[in-house]
Amino acid sequence: METPQETAHGYSANKDALLKRLRRIEGQIRGIARMVEEDTYCIDVLTQVSAVNAALHKVSLNLVEDHIGHCVVGAAEESQRTGDPSIVDHKVKEASAAIGRLLR
């Protein structure tokens, strides 16, 4: 795990867009809570939960693409520079484990 300030990350270039998406998802969750408080029909609540799943899906995919394009590719270049393949191997394993958790 890297300390926050040390390195800019793949998502740094899209930070504002990512924060905007997260705020919107936060609002959607509050909206679902209101529906539950107002005893709204279960199917309509479930429809909104699916919408949040889809929004989170996009956030995850952007983070994965940014991570591969920035961190994995950066590590590949560093492995090439230093002749140490373990640098990129570690990043690939990390990315694969993160994708595995998302696929669950």
Q: Under the criterion CB under 8 A, does residue 86 sit at the interface with a copy of itself?
A: no
Q: Which of residues 9-68 bind a copy of itself (CB under 8 A)?
A: 9-12, 15, 18-19, 22-23, 25-26, 29-30, 32-33, 35-47, 49-50, 52-54, 56-57, 59-61, 63-68
CA–CA gap between residue 75 and residue 89 (Å, rounded): 8
Which residues have CB under 8 Å from 51's CB, separation 6+? 28
3-state secondary structure of 3: coil
Q: How far is the CB of 102 from a copy of itself (least distance, A)?
A: 6
Q: How far is the CB of 87 from a copy of itself (least distance, A)?
A: 11
- Contact (Cβ atoms closer than 8 angstroms) between residue 3 and residue 10: no
